[in-house]
Structures are given as C-alpha cells and as structure tokens.
Chains A and B, each alone.
Chain A
Amino acid sequence: MHGLILWTFEFFVRLTYGNQVWTGVLSKLDLSLNAVEPLFHYDDQVGLSILQQLAVDLNRDRQSLLEDFGTFLVTDTRVERVRRLLRFGGVDYTDFLHSLEDLKGRSLLAVPDLHLPNIQVDERQPHRFEITCENIPKGAPYVLLGVLRALADDFGSLVFLEVTAETADNVVITADLLECQHAEGREFLWATGGVS
C-alpha cells in the first residue's frame, strides 16, 4: 500500500476522531511505526490492521469507516486537492463517472508507484451505471462509494448509490442518476491554486 493512502487515512482519523484515537490504535497494534511517511510503501496488512483496530475502538463497522473516509476526501477542505483531482475528471456527474476508468492511469501519470484499483463503468440503461471496482486493497470499493456519494452533492446531482454485488475480487456499485442538476453544486475553479 502506498504511503500516500495510509498517510491520508491518518489525516482523516486525526482530524475526524482526534489524535488520541490514532496514537491509541498504533500503540495497541504495537507497530514499529510512529508516523506514516507519504513517500514510503507499507504492507497492505498494516493498513488492514489499523482499520480493524479503529473499528474496534470506535465500535463501528469497517465498511462505514471506509465510506466516511471517502466522503472526507471530497468534502474536507483540508484535503481539497483530492476533490480537485477527481473533479478534473468531468464537467458533470455522468462525465465524471465515465472518467473513473481513467483514474488509475491518471494517478500513475502523477505518482508512478501509486496503484489505485481498476474501475469499470457500464451504462446498463439510461441513467443507470454499474461501477465495478477491484477489491484491492480489500475495502477500497467502499472508499469509492463514499467518494461517489460526496461528489454527487459536489456536482449538485441527485444520485442513488448502493453496493449490488460483492465478491472477493470485485465490488459492484450501482448508481441511479435521478437528476443531473438537482441542486446548486459546490463551486469548482479549474485554475490551480497559486497561479494567476
């Protein structure tokens, strides 16, 4: 697992649940890990152990924690860049959904050793999409689910999202686009911050 992922997850836990929760999880697991380095690589098991311990400590299920992590990535202004990178995918929600197939390739362009799961998007009928996300690392599709929910709000679209199939390898998320422009979305400036 790329350090960037674990590092962002640490950020999520610290900001959402507090520093004590994060340090508590690490000390209980007795990992030889004081701080996550964003440019290092970690065994997937490290991430899974942290998630498991966090679920125990917060009395939450792992899937809903991952979904909250996905929501955090889009909605929290302190990680604004993730939202920006995702919004570059499309001018509206449909466009964005199709761009998910490029997500892996695009992120490889930016960070050559960052491997995101494969995603396939099929429009089964008008306004109904099946998003098949590779289950690597385990649970990753639930982060995507949170991201998809939050981005629907971001684009101002009304979308019904649910997991409709799950195997060891893949998770299928079905998205029903009820209204493309349901509400005013969040403002998105295409310009990169800092340039004028």
Chain B
Amino acid sequence: MNMERPIPFTCGVLDRVLPMHLMIDAKGIIQHAGPTIQKVFGDRDVVGRNVFGLLELKRPRNIKRIEDVRGIDTKRVRLKIRDEYETPLTGAVAFMPDLNCVLLNLSFGYSIAEAVARYELTGSDFAPTELAVEMLYLVEAKTAAMDIASQLAHRLHDEKEVAKNEAQTDGLTGLANRRALDLRFGRQLKRNVPFSLMHLDLDYFKSVNDTHGHAAGDAVLEAVADVLQQETREVDLVARVGGDEFVIVLDNLVCPARLEKIAARLIQRIEKPVVFRDIECGVSASIGVVLSTSYVHPDPLEMAEDADQALYASKRAGRAAFTVSR
C-alpha cells in the first residue's frame, strides 16, 4: 500500500503558508520564490537565477552544487544573503522526488530586527505561524525595559555616590572625616606606597571659642581647612578627626626635609589671624609627623599613636612647633 500519495499543489498555496520559500530545480535554478523573498531581493531577479548566486551556504560548508543537496542529512542549513548586508538566514531543506526539485524555506532567525529594517518588511510578510512578530515585540519590549533599568541603575549610582560622599565628609569644613581616613589607611597599605602621617592640633582654639563664641570658632576651622587643602596635593588626604584635630595623609612623600618645610609653612599660614565680624581670631598649630618607612610592617594604629606622641612632643616644646619622628 502506498502510504504517501503525491499531493498536487500550487505555488500559491505555498506562498500563503511559507512566504519565504524557494523551489529549486535539479540544476540549481530557482523556479519559484515566495513573496517575501521577492521583496528581500527588491529589483533583482530571483526566478531563473542560480541559488548559489543569491545565497551563500555557510553550513554545511561542503555543498557547492545542487546535486549535493540531496546528500544533506541535516534539516537545518545556515545561509547568508549575497548582498551588501550579508544578512544571515536559517533554512529548512527538503528534496521533493516527484517534482525533482528542492524546497528551501527560509527564516531570519536572530537577525529579524535588522532584516525588517533593511528590507522594509511588515507583519504580513511573515507566516502567521512564524514567531517573527513576537520576536520584534520582544526586542522592542526588551529595549524599553533595558532603558528603564539603566536609568534606574544610574539614578541609584548617583544617589549612592552622594550618600557615600556625605558619609565620608565633615559637614562643617568639607574635609574628609574619620571614616574616610580609615578607608584611606586601608587602601594606602594595600598599595604599598610609602607615605607619611601628619597629625595637627590647633593651639589656643579653645580660647577663641570661649572668648568670641562658636561661630568664630567655626570660621577659624573653615579657614584652617582651606589652608590645609591649599598646602597639600590632590593625592593627599586631609581629614578633620576631632574638634580641632586634623590628620593629613601625604602620599609617596617621606623626605623629612620636605615634610619639615610643609609643617613649617602650615603653622606659618595658620597663625595668620582670621577676621570674623571685625574680630581678629588668632590660633596656631602643633604638628607631629611619622613616616611609613620607619616601620618594617606599617600599622595604621601604631602610626597614629606615634604621630600623636610626636604631636605632644611639639606641644611640650612650647606649641606652634612640629616634630618629625624618625
């Protein structure tokens, strides 16, 4: 019993169901092309042309002649349109013995979005069963969702930066605070670059506060902060760690002579009176300095303690002085 009877059909039927199909004869000449294929090739002739002239077979690669198509044992072939875009295509291929020709049905696969733009296609150019429109829909929706997600990510990032800055900044002077200093210590040690630590404490600050009030004291602190910023480099860190206490991390700077020069200049500038509401407020500073190179294994706590010791040595020496511990 013959299970498979030849079914008479017209190409019009195929056009409806498979608008991207090609019928190729035994010589490799295209006998019929679905309407969407015609549209893709625009004003180029399709019927009557050799299929290998229009399409490049990418996989399987060894097929150069239509006779070999019969031997293809895979259902899926990968092709490329021979045009300026080299649009990739996926194809399903079947040999039709009764007609002695090859039926090749094509699809754009992942290149659908580009293809629709390039060849000016619309929803009606695709078989209703093909997921082309769903795919376009998803591409569109995904792009929209990505836009929203990326906006959100940027907004969160900005807000995080602001919060981080606030958390690491001293509200009055805008200098770094102790939290920022601790983080800097950690980074400094990891980088393994020599550095020095300058601990600075204002002298006579309490008397400015007591005599002229807290507003005057704040003005002095702000002026001192400006001096510290101006006399250090971008790479250094200036932190306010207490009422009138400051710590400066000087990156890659361990030359005692230079440090002494910097300390002397800081004191000199800080001693310049600050005028607040016509009142001259005078303070000075005592400084203690330690160098990371003085330690085999520099430890922040130990260095801070030693800097503190050096600072108190300066205080004992009569204030307005600096001590570089070696």
How far, in Å, is B9 (CB) from chain A's closest CB? 26
Main DSSP-derived SS at the A contact region = loop
Q: Which residues of B contact A106 (CB under 8 A)?
A: 134, 137
Q: Which residues of B contact A81 (CB under 8 A)?
A: 140, 143-144
How far, in Å, is B250 (CB) from chain A's closest CB? 43
Q: A39-B149, A195-B113 in contact; A88/B142 too (CB < 8 A)?
A: no
Q: Which residues of A contact B121 (CB under 8 A)?
A: 190
Mask, A158-195, CB within 8 Å of B = 1, is 00000000000000000000000000000001111111
Is the C-beta of A38 less than 8 angstroms from some C-beta in chain B? yes
Main DSSP-derived SS at the B contact region = helix
Q: Which residues of A contact B113 (CB under 8 A)?
A: 191-192, 195
Is the C-beta of A58 less than 8 angstroms from some C-beta in chain B? no
How many angstroms from the CA of A37 to the CA of B152 in the assembled complex?
8
Mask, A20-58, CB within 8 Å of B = 1, is 000000000000000001110000000000000000000
Q: A90-B123, A106-B134, A111-B141 in contact; A192/B152 too (CB < 8 A)?
A: no
Is the C-beta of B96 less than 8 angstroms from some C-beta in chain A? no
Q: Identify which of A37, A190, A193 gathers the most chain B CB atoms within 10 Å of its CB.
A: A190
Is B140 a contact of A84 with CB atoms below 8 Å? yes
How far, in Å, is B84 (CB) from chain A's closest CB? 12
- Residue in B117, B118, B137, B143 whose beta carbon sits within 8 Å of that of A109 in the complex: B137
Question: Nearest 10 pairs between A and B by C-beta?
Answer: A191-B117, A110-B141, A91-B124, A81-B144, A88-B137, A190-B116, A38-B148, A191-B116, A195-B113, A192-B113
Residue pairs across A and B with Cβ atoms less than 8 A apart, 29 shown, are: A38-B152, A39-B149, A85-B140, A88-B123, A88-B136, A88-B137, A90-B123, A91-B123, A91-B124, A106-B137, A109-B137, A110-B137, A110-B141, A110-B145, A111-B141, A111-B145, A189-B117, A190-B116, A190-B117, A190-B123, A191-B113, A191-B117, A192-B113, A192-B116, A192-B136, A192-B139, A194-B143, A195-B113, A195-B117
Binding site for A on B (CB under 8 A): 113-114, 116-118, 121-124, 133-134, 136-145, 148-149, 152
Binding site for B on A (CB under 8 A): 4, 37-39, 81, 84-85, 88, 90-91, 106-107, 109-111, 189-196
